[in-house]
Structure 1
Amino acid sequence: MKTENKTPYQGNRRTCGYFQCKKCNKHWFSANTWANCSQKCKSCNSDVYPYKQVRHQKSDEPPKEIRPHPQEMCQKCRQLGYFCGSRFNSYGK
């Protein structure tokens, strides 16, 4: 049975993603997105899929801001039962 492609990226690694809620127009970025997985909009609680996903880029510069990943809003975290960005997950990096 073939899965419907709901995201631009269809690989098995974590990516960065850009979101826009169609119901309330809220925009956000997440460094933890996955193929065919949604995140809930904090404003209206709708499931939103990223409209753009890009590979993580290695950089020599320190991160500008690290915000906690809202695991309760992330479909992948809920499926796994733990933080989807964990280096111990079975999907690799």
Structure 2
Amino acid sequence: MADQGNKRCFGEYRCPTCHRTWMSGNSWPNMGQECTKCHINVLAHKQTPLERPDGLDKSDLSKHHPQDLCEKCKQLGRYCGRVRR
């Protein structure tokens, strides 16, 4: 996994127990997300910087970010996508 510092990035996840896969635009280095099936914390197996080439890679604001499954949200006590710099 590439080092992304402490910036939010795009992460790809695969649960080692049930092999469920998912992706998230709210992925953080060394922070996991809980598998909805197995309820274990899973670290991203791949992370890449968030990029917005020509404005085509916009966040889907209608898509819910499950804060109860996100280690960063739990640590902050709020939505992780609005981290102050």
User: Which has more radius of gyration?
Assistant: 1
Rounded Cα–Cα distance in structure 1 between residues aligned with 2:3 and 2:67: 20
2:31 aligned counterpart, secondary structure: coil
Rounded Cα–Cα distance in structure 2 between residues aligned with 1:64 and 1:33: 13
* Aligned match of 1:71: 67
Moved over 6 A (4+): none
The code of the aligned residue for 1:37 comes to: M
Total equivalences in the alignment: 83
Structure 1 or 2: more helix by fraction:
2
Sort the Cα spacing of 1:78 and 1:64 in 2 relative to 1 into closer, same or farther, 3 A: closer
CA RMSD between the two structures: 1.9
Q: Which runs of 5+ in 1 are unaligned?
A: 1-6
More divergent stretch after superposition (48-57 vs 7-16): 7-16
Percent of paired sites with the same residue = 35
Q: Which runs of 5+ in 2 are unaligned?
A: none
Rounded Cα–Cα distance in structure 2 between residues aligned with 1:10 and 1:54: 7
Q: TM-score normalised to the size of structure 1?
A: 0.79
Deviation at 1:61, TM superposition (A): 2.6
Query: Deviation string for 1:27-71 (max 9, x for gaps)?
Result: 000000111101000111111000000001113237485411100
